[in-house]
Structure 1
Amino acid sequence: MTQPTEAPRTTPTPLHWKLVIDCANPQSQADFWAAALHYEVEDNNALIERLLELGAVPREAVVEFHARLAFRDLVAVRHPDDPYDPDSGTGLGRRLLFQRVPEAKSVKNRLHLDLHAAAGEREGEVERLEALGASVLRRVKEPAGEWVVMADPEGNEFCVQ
């Protein structure tokens, strides 16, 4: 009698993801966050040119941004060391995508970024971020630690540890 064989177990492939942030002005948010995180604004110029040539997107769906074509309502920033698709300019690793929405932010974020400054560098990092357009909302000192709650230029909260 033959013993049934077990099916090989496979580990699911982790999902690729990006954090999408609703905003009023994707380009200015991308500039702020690229500078804040030392990331790069994605360059989708080649992709957009192909889409325009094919008639797949209307001209009014794009804008000039840093002397390149960009989507009017979407722009992303990516970690400079992560891979990206050279044909589309789209990052394949750590990314933030800024998406234009018609409504203004009205309540506290349910999700936020924590930026981790080097030891002893929190105040310098807070000052740098303020110079980029962020504002300090409050300073927190608890038994569990200290951090600064800040807001980006559109009011989205984030923390500096």
Structure 2
Amino acid sequence: MTSRFTELSVDCHDPERLAAFWCEVLDYKVIDRGEDMVEIGSWEPTVEGVRAGSMPPTLVFVQVPEGKTLKNRLHLDVSPIDAGTEDEVTRLLGLGATRADVGQGPDRSWVVMADPEGNEFCVLRSLAP
């Protein structure tokens, strides 16, 4: 008996804004909406796809009243697929991300950033050919 990682939930103030940001970052689309939530993904979830384990998890942005107070203990890592890391960082800055300092120190091969609500994520090495 096993389980599948099907979605990652992100608490936030403005689910629509964060969903729009992450759709641009990941080339995802909105696949579900509720009163206080927006789910995005690269595919339409089906029981068969989830069972096969071949589909990436979706992201669910859920509206909560409290704000972010500390560094995230869990964060996303992204790797550019058609540009260099610095070009991708520039693109993400244009979408509303900011550079973040979480104590990572100098001379790292990744760049720590924050989404429009301050959730940290890392831009890793480029996977571009």
What TM-score, normalized by structure 1, do the two folds share?
0.64
Give 2:30's aligned residue: 41
Residues 9-158 of structure 1 mapped to structure 2, 5 A cutoff: 12-42=1-31, 44=32, 70-79=33-42, 82-85=43-46, 93=55, 94-118=57-81, 121-138=84-101, 141-142=106-107, 145-158=108-121
What TM-score, normalized by structure 2, do the two folds share?
0.78
Greater RCO (Cα-Cα under 8 Å, separation 6 or more): 2
Given that 1:140 and 1:147 are in contact with CA atoms closer than 8 Å, whether structure 2 keeps it comes out as: no
Q: Percent identity?
A: 43
Unaligned runs of 5+ in 2: 125-129
In the TM superposition, residue 17 of structure 1 has moved relative to its aligned partner by 2.4
Q: Secondary structure at the match of 2:77?
A: strand
Structure of larger gyration radius: 1
Give the aligned CA root-mean-square deviation in angstroms.
2.3
